């Protein structure tokens, strides 16, 4: 049912000392407004559309649509060009605003930060994202620029390592493909394909606008009323291949000009959030921090023995991707992998210690509180939560609701050899 | 913004920016000394060895467990350089006391200051030397890191380009040290260097965060315990600006196994601290945004590359222009960069460009106030550069910049060096 008026609700978090207003705009767009006394006001307007969305079916259509890899990122580049021949960057520049955009595996976002003329900049943002304009000529020009971006990324060892791991872990999932696509795949992009993707995914009902700074809710709603038309219903079936819990292959070896070997270990997690996305993410982040954080036993053991000079660890939980990832450089990746395996399987038997668990909880809690430190961090956190289907304020609370037993149970389910893979970057001879 | 500046000890100042705007607090203690090859190698290794442990927390695991229990107190000890001034910087970032969950009351500010004191006053030292086991393992890791500079092609090309541009100037020395020096430093030398900077190096401490009547006293008390009584009243070291060795343009080509080449052009661009509004306006118009000359022309109009951007090293009076670019486009890009620069130097600076630049600079200055670390780091950098740090006066200065001043500034730029890292896998 189409809603006739804007609906607003305000939510508070006592734990974080924050509050926000959600405008369920009659156009179909969700608008989050956080009023803060910062110099800069930041706005991000984005869609749940990323590099994974290469195959989809629109309601009523029988056949799925398949589009070239890298098209979401390509579309992001093209949205700054406007029909009157101007570039949106020029409009932002007139007020001194800083503007940018990004594409990830599950979202595309357009943003600006300004210290004056917020309303003018918000109109520019809404106009550029709701007025696509693509021609053969401008598409061809962008193929050259993005081709150079692709080559730049191909020179980055961490990118090579990341995509190498994705190929090892996933059998056919599009997360294996770089967000930018390839020089060959972007050569297939046409204005028609761009319009098709735009019309499918840039539906306001699939999008959110998140604003943080010295703004008031009424003026934001008034501009949205003025600029946004009511969006049609939006039902997109995203077609992704089925993935089994096992990795595709356990080792991916790549040669590159690096000074010493680099490794990236992945543990595949195919469980779904099942309606509790904040809890799901909190359990996984607590597991990762307890076991693989810098105060975890593995970090100390590997560092003190000289096996690594530090490593990073993260748990990815975007869309249907669940992956525990540990990465760094070392002399002997297989020895590091073996230490990881022994440690993980030992913890699966014994569980994490109470001390490790409490420490990890404090770390995650403090990181969450500190993520509310600037207008850009806050607005982006709201947009990430929207993309993940989460209620942002619930996450900090969930960190204290998760029990050690839940973390132990996840460790038992997760730490099995068939879920492990490693990508190694070997220095070229 | 109120900055309280207090002498903490001879040659050591404390700057305090009281604010309850943030959820975390920021503390930095920086030491400054002339950038020299031997001290760079020693300080680089020292920073790593000290992060391995203290007397009460003698391993990296114990140190991390302790600071994580303090709600993820994050700390670092790092080396860097501003012109030819070496910095040795300790930084801490920690949660404000009022955000600790009520059921878990803790005084993080007090614990953080105790930790800073422990870090400097109780290092892990045996018989006048840092622990040899840690020195050896960190030596290996530091050498790995120096060798690993090739892994990031952008940074590598920029470092090589700057090195060729600067030649014998001390700023050409890497603050991370070189393999030759790092290979033979001993734990005793490191300890001697540590004692020496505490006594002889100019120090700047900074605190940004929540403030009560006794906070300043606590900060001064900790600093006076860290800094020895026999400290020298050392001034801030000065950087000599860069002067080209010859009138020619040094052309350097090196190779790497990459898919894309990297071009670095090095210019001399003389500058004094008072001219910062003009210099900022110049760099904004020339390169800093998607409507700048380089982005609009080299990337968008001629489609020669994905990025082409300039940066100024204000301490040295140099500018570098960098681009990731195919070899076949290098000459075209160089010609366009020169065309844009010469155009600005001959007075082709429009009112629109100047207005946009003024707005962008004012906006970026105002935004500094929004995070404790950006505010703190900016403030400390201005002190080293001898540049004004009154934010309101700076914004006024930006408003007074004229097109003629920008053109005159652009006319000082002289290309001295062109470096190209050729990609053999292009």
Query: Are residue A131 and residue A280 in the same domain, yes or no?
Result: no
Chain B interface includes A116 (CB < 8 A): yes
In this prediction, residue A2 carries a pLDDT of 62
Residue B245 belongs to some domain of the structure: no
Taking residues A98-124, what's their average pLDDT?
97
Residue B238 belongs to some domain of the structure: no
ipTM of the complex: 0.91
Distance from CA of B65 to the nearest CA of A (A): 5
Query: Are residue A225 and residue A103 in the same domain, yes or no?
Result: yes
Average pLDDT score over chain B: 94
> Chain A residue with minimal CA distance to B60?
A300
In this prediction, residue B369 carries a pLDDT of 83
Percent of all residues in chain B with a pLDDT value above 70, rounded to a whole number: 100
What's the distance, CA B213 to chain centroid?
32
Residue numbers of B between 406 and 425 with CB closer than 8 Å to A: 423
Taking residues B32-56, what's their average pLDDT?
97
* B371-380 tens-digit pLDDT: 888 888 888 8
In this prediction, residue A1 carries a pLDDT of 56
* A329-361 tens-digit pLDDT: 999 999 999 999 999 999 999 999 999 999 999
Residue A2 belongs to some domain of the structure: no
Q: Which of A204, A238, A272 finishes a domain? A: A238
Residue B237 belongs to some domain of the structure: no
- Could you say which of B24, B148, B364 has the minimum Cβ distance to residue A260? B148
Query: Are residue B215 and residue B271 in the same domain, yes or no?
Result: no
- Domain, as residue range, for B255: 250-423
Average pLDDT score over chain A: 95
- Could you say which of A116, A256, A374 has the minimum Cβ distance to residue B370? A374
Chain B interface includes A113 (CB < 8 A): yes
Residue B200 belongs to some domain of the structure: yes
In this prediction, residue B382 carries a pLDDT of 80
- Could you say which of B22, B104, B151 has the minimum Cβ distance to residue A373? B22
> Chain A residue with minimal CA distance to B136?
A306
CA distances from A258 to A156, A331, A427, B420 (A): 10, 12, 5, 19
Residue B116 belongs to some domain of the structure: yes
- B387: pLDDT strictly greater than 80: no
User: A138-169: string of b/e by CB count within 10 Å (b at 16+)?
Assistant: ebebbbebbbbbbbbbbbbbeebbbbbbbbbb
Taking residues A82-110, what's their average pLDDT?
94
> Chain A residue with minimal CA distance to B22?
A373
The sign of the torsion formed by the CA atoms of B374, B376, B378, B384 equals negative
Residue numbers of A between 156 and 185 with CB closer than 8 Å to B: 156-157
pLDDT-derived band at A426 (thresholds 50, 70, 90) equals very high
The region, left, alpha or beta by phi > 0 then psi within -120 to 50, assigned to residue A213 is: left
- Could you say which of B60, B101, B369 has the minimum Cβ distance to residue A300? B60
Q: Which of A238, A272, A294 finishes a domain? A: A238
- Could you say which of B306, B359, B370 has the minimum Cβ distance to residue A152? B306
Taking residues A319-325, what's their average pLDDT?
91
- B342: pLDDT strictly greater than 70: yes
Contact A96 B152 (CB under 8 A): no
In this prediction, residue A84 carries a pLDDT of 87
Chain B interface includes A90 (CB < 8 A): yes
Residue A3 has a CB neighbour count (10 Å cut-off) of 12
Query: Are residue A73 and residue A179 in the same domain, yes or no?
Result: yes
Catalytic residue among A69, A76, A142, A398: A76
* B182-200 tens-digit pLDDT: 999 999 999 999 999 999 9
Report the alpha-carbon distance of residue B253 to residue B268 in Å, rounded. Answer: 20
Query: Are residue A329 and residue A207 in the same domain, yes or no?
Result: no
Taking residues B118-137, what's their average pLDDT?
97
Query: Are residue B197 and residue B267 in the same domain, yes or no?
Result: no
In this prediction, residue B245 carries a pLDDT of 83
In this prediction, residue A305 carries a pLDDT of 94
Q: Chain A partners of B395 at a C-beta cutoff of 8 Å?
A: none
Taking residues A128-147, what's their average pLDDT?
94
Query: Are residue B275 and residue B165 in the same domain, yes or no?
Result: no
Distance from CA of B290 to the nearest CA of A (A): 6
Residue B240 belongs to some domain of the structure: no
Chain B interface includes A275 (CB < 8 A): no
Residue numbers of A between 357 and 386 with CB closer than 8 Å to B: 358-360, 362-363, 365-367, 369-370, 372-375
Structural domain total, chain B? 2
B77 three-state secondary structure: strand
Contact A365 B147 (CB under 8 A): no
Residue A246 belongs to some domain of the structure: no
- Could you say which of A114, A155, A303 has the minimum Cβ distance to residue B60? A303
In this prediction, residue A344 carries a pLDDT of 97
In this prediction, residue A4 carries a pLDDT of 75
Q: Chain B partners of A358 at a C-beta cutoff of 8 Å?
A: 69
Report the alpha-carbon distance of residue A303 to residue B94 in Å, rounded. Answer: 24
* B202-231 tens-digit pLDDT: 999 999 999 999 999 999 999 999 999 999
Query: Are residue A178 and residue A260 in the same domain, yes or no?
Result: no
Query: Are residue B189 and residue B314 in the same domain, yes or no?
Result: no
* A215-243 tens-digit pLDDT: 999 999 999 999 999 999 888 999 999 89
Residue A144 belongs to some domain of the structure: yes
Report the alpha-carbon distance of residue A190 to residue A212 in Å, rounded. Answer: 36
Residue A244 belongs to some domain of the structure: no
Query: Are residue A222 and residue A261 in the same domain, yes or no?
Result: no
Tell me how many degrees the CA angle A384-A390-A391 measures, rounded to the nearest 5. 105
CA distances from B34 to A323, A376, B196, B380 (A): 47, 37, 13, 17
Domain harbouring B364, CATH code: 3.30.830.10
Query: Are residue B95 and residue B147 in the same domain, yes or no?
Result: yes
Query: Are residue B254 and residue B212 in the same domain, yes or no?
Result: no
Distance from CA of A205 to the nearest CA of B (A): 30
- B350: pLDDT strictly greater than 80: yes
Taking residues A81-101, what's their average pLDDT?
93
* A354-383 tens-digit pLDDT: 999 999 999 999 999 999 989 999 999 999
User: Directed axis angle between helix A297-304 and helix B60-69, to 10°?
Assistant: 150
- B356: pLDDT strictly greater than 80: yes
DSSP structure class, residue A229: P
Query: Are residue A276 and residue A174 in the same domain, yes or no?
Result: no
Query: Are residue B200 and residue B343 in the same domain, yes or no?
Result: no
Contact A294 B64 (CB under 8 A): yes
Contact B260 A259 (CB under 8 A): no
Distance from CA of B278 to the nearest CA of A (A): 17
Q: Which of A181, A216, A238 finishes a domain? A: A238
Q: Chain A partners of B372 at a C-beta cutoff of 8 Å?
A: 373
In this prediction, residue B1 carries a pLDDT of 66
* B19-39 tens-digit pLDDT: 988 999 999 999 999 999 999
Query: Are residue B376 and residue B416 in the same domain, yes or no?
Result: yes
Query: Are residue B43 and residue B192 in the same domain, yes or no?
Result: yes
Residue A235 has a CB neighbour count (10 Å cut-off) of 12
Domain harbouring A359, CATH code: 3.30.830.10
- Domain, as residue range, for A215: 7-238
Query: Are residue A228 and residue A83 in the same domain, yes or no?
Result: yes
Contact B306 A375 (CB under 8 A): no
Burial of B260 (0-12, 13-18, 19+ CB in 10 A): buried
Contact A115 B303 (CB under 8 A): no
Distance from CA of B230 to the nearest CA of A (A): 36
Query: Are residue A60 and residue A15 in the same domain, yes or no?
Result: yes
Query: Are residue B179 and residue B303 in the same domain, yes or no?
Result: no
Contact B59 A300 (CB under 8 A): yes
Residue B88 belongs to some domain of the structure: yes
Contact B140 A37 (CB under 8 A): no
In this prediction, residue A53 carries a pLDDT of 96
Chain B interface includes A401 (CB < 8 A): no
Query: Are residue A127 and residue A232 in the same domain, yes or no?
Result: yes
> Chain B residue with minimal CA distance to A160?
B151
In this prediction, residue B9 carries a pLDDT of 96
Taking residues B139-143, what's their average pLDDT?
96
Residue A1 belongs to some domain of the structure: no
B293, B320, B277: which is closest to B409 by C-alpha? B277
- B314: pLDDT strictly greater than 90: no
pLDDT-derived band at A296 (thresholds 50, 70, 90) equals very high
Q: Where are the alpha helices (DSSP H) in A172-321?
A: 183-186, 191-201, 217-227, 277-292, 297-304
* A3-43 tens-digit pLDDT: 779 999 999 998 888 999 999 999 999 999 999 999 999 99
- Could you say which of B23, B140, B367 has the minimum Cβ distance to residue A370? B23
In this prediction, residue B293 carries a pLDDT of 97
Taking residues A149-155, what's their average pLDDT?
92
Whether A76 is catalytic is yes
Query: Are residue B281 and residue B174 in the same domain, yes or no?
Result: no
pLDDT-derived band at B274 (thresholds 50, 70, 90) equals confident
In this prediction, residue B412 carries a pLDDT of 96
- B105: pLDDT strictly greater than 60: yes
> Chain B residue with minimal CA distance to A145?
B306
Taking residues A71-98, what's their average pLDDT?
94
By DSSP bridging, strand B414-423 and strand B250-256 are parallel
Q: Chain B partners of A157 at a C-beta cutoff of 8 Å?
A: 151-152
Query: Are residue B280 and residue B185 in the same domain, yes or no?
Result: no
Q: Chain A partners of B350 at a C-beta cutoff of 8 Å?
A: none
Residue B419 belongs to some domain of the structure: yes
Taking residues B284-292, what's their average pLDDT?
94
Structural domain total, chain A? 2
Residue A119 belongs to some domain of the structure: yes
């Amino acid at each position: 049912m189409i809603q006739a008026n804007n609906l607003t609700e305000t939510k508070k978090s006592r734990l974080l000392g924050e509050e926000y207003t959600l405008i369920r705009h009659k156009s179909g767009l969700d608008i989050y407004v956080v009023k803060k006394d910062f110099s800069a006001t930041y706005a991000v307007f984005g869609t749940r559309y990323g590099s994974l969305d290469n195959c989809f079916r629109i309601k009523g259509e029988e056949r799925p649509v398949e589009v070239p890899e890298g098209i979401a990122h390509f579309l992001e580049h093209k949205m700054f060009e406007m029909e009157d021949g101007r570039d949106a960057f020029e409009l932002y520049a007139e007020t001194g605003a800083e503007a940018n955009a990004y594409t990830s595996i599950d979202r595309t976002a357009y943003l600006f930060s300004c210290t004056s003329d917020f309303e003018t900049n918000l109109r520019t943002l809404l106009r550029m994202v709701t007025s696509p304009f693509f021609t053969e000529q401008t598409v061809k020009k962008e193929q050259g620029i993005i081709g150079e971006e692709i080559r730049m990324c191909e020179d980055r060892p961490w990118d090579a390592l990341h995509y190498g791991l994705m190929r090892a872990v996933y059998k056919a999932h599009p997360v294996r493909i770089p967000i930018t696509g390839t020089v060959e795949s972007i050569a297939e992009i046409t204005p028609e394909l761009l319009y098709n993707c735009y019309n499918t995914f840039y539906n306001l009902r699939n999008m959110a606008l998140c604003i943080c700074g010295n703004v008031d809710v009424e003026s934001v709603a008034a501009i949205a009323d003025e600029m946004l038309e009511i969006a049609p219903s939006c039902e997109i079936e995203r077609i992704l291949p089925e993935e089994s819990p096992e990795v595709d292959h356990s080792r991916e070896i790549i040669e590159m000009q690096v000074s010493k070997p680099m490794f990236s270990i992945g543990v595949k997690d195919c469980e779904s959030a099942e309606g509790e996305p904040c809890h799901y993410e909190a359990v996984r982040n607590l597991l990762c921090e307890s076991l693989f954080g810098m105060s975890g036993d593995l970090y100390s053991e590997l560092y003190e023995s000289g096996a690594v000079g530090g490593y990073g660890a993260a748990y990815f939980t975007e869309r249907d991707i669940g992956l525990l990832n540990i990465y760094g450089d070392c002399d002997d990746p297989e020895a590091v992998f073996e230490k990881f395996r022994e440690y993980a399987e030992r913890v699966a038997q014994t569980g994490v210690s109470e001390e490790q668990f409490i420490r990890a909880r404090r770390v995650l809690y403090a990181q969450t509180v500190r993520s509310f430190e600037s207008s850009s961090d806050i607005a982006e956190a709201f947009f990430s939560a929207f993309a993940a289907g989460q209620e942002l304020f619930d996450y900090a609370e969930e960190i204290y609701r998760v029990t050690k037993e839940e973390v132990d149970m996840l460790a038992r389910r997760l730490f099995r050899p068939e879920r492990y893979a490693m990508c190694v970057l070997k220095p070229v001879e | 913004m109120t900055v309280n500046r207090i002498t903490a000890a001879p040659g050591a100042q404390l700057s305090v920016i009281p604010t309850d705007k943030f959820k975390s607090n920021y503390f930095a203690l920086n030491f400054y000394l002339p950038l020299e090859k031997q001290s760079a190698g020693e300080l680089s290794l020292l920073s790593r060895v000290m992060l391995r442990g203290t007397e009460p927390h003698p391993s990296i695991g114990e140190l991390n467990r302790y600071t994580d229990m303090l709600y993820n107190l994050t700390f670092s000890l790092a080396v860097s350089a501003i012109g030819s001034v070496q910095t040795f910087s300790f930084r801490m970032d920690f949660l404000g006391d009022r955000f600790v969950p009520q059921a878990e009351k803790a005084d993080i500010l007090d614990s953080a200051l105790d930790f800073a004191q422990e870090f400097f006053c109780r290092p892990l030292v045996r018989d006048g030397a840092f622990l040899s086991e840690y020195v050896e393992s960190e030596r290996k890791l530091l050498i790995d890191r120096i060798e690993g500079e090739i892994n990031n092609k952008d940074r590598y090309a920029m470092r090589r380009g700057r090195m060729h541009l600067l030649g014998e100037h001390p700023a050409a020395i890497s603050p991370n040290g070189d393999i030759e020096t790092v290979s033979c430093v001993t734990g005793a030398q490191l300890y001697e260097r540590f004692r020496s900077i505490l006594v002889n190096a100019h120090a700047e401490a900074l605190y940004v965060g929540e403030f009560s009547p006794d906070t300043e006293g606590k900060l001064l008390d900790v600093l006076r315990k860290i800094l020895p009584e026999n400290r020298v009243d050392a001034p801030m070291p000065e950087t000599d600006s860069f002067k080209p060795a010859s009138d020619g343009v040094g052309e350097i080509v090196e190779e790497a196994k990459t898919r894309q080449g990297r071009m670095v052009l090095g210019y001399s661009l003389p500058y004094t601290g008072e001219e910062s509004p003009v210099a900022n306006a110049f760099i904004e118009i020339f390169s800093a945004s998607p409507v700048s000359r380089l982005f609009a022309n080299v990337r968008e109009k001629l489609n020669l590359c994905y990025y082409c951007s300039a940066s100024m090293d204000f301490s040295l009076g140099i500018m570098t222009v960098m681009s990731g670019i195919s070899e076949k486009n290098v000459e075209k890009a160089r010609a366009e960069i020169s065309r844009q620069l010469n155009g600005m130097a001959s007075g082709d600076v429009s009112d629109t460009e100047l207005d946009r630049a003024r707005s962008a600079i004012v906006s970026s200055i105002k935004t500094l106030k929004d995070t404790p670390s950006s505010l703190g780091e900016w403030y400390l950098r201005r002190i080293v550069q001898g540049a004004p740090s009154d934010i309101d006066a700076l914004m006024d200065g930006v408003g007074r910049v004229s097109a003629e001043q920008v053109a005159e500034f652009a006319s000082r730029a002289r290309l001295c060096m062109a470096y190209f890292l050729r990609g053999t896998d292009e």
